[in-house]
Amino acid sequence: MLLSAIYQPQNHFCIAVDGNADETFWRVMNKVSGCYSNIQVVRAKRIKWCSYEIIEAIFDCVVRLAQSTTDWKYLQIRQIGDLLGA
């Protein structure tokens, strides 16, 4: 999982779960976010690769992070392809 490769406790994460994901995956990701105060999960629309829905999912995460009380300075966007070399 990408998160296990990049996780650092001082960083904050927002994970946009694709609307195509099954309920089991959604529940697991919510449990993960429940274990770590620096991980937030949002449910995105059904995402098609190279579509506008990707931008919407990123924006939803940016809004969620902006609403947090954390004083963050930088934003990095990662996708599963970043880890797989796709």
Percent of the chain having pLDDT more than 90?
Answer: 28
**Residue 43: pLDDT over 60:** yes
Kindly provide the residue ranges of all beta strands, DSSP E only, lying in 1-86, ordered along the sequence: 13-17, 39-43
Query: What is the torsional sign of CA 60, 61, 65, 66?
Result: negative
Read off the tokens for 29. 């990701």
**Residue 72: pLDDT over 90:** no
Distance separating alpha carbons of residues 75 and 85, to the nearest angstrom: 21
Report pLDDT digits (tens) over 12-27. Answer: 888 888 888 899 999 9
Q: Are 38 and 67 in contact (CB under 8 A)?
A: no
Per-state percent for the chain, helix, strand, coil, to nearest 5: 45, 10, 45
Q: What pTM does this model have?
A: 0.79
Distance separating alpha carbons of residues 9 and 39, to the nearest angstrom: 10
Distance separating alpha carbons of residues 51 and 74, to the nearest angstrom: 24
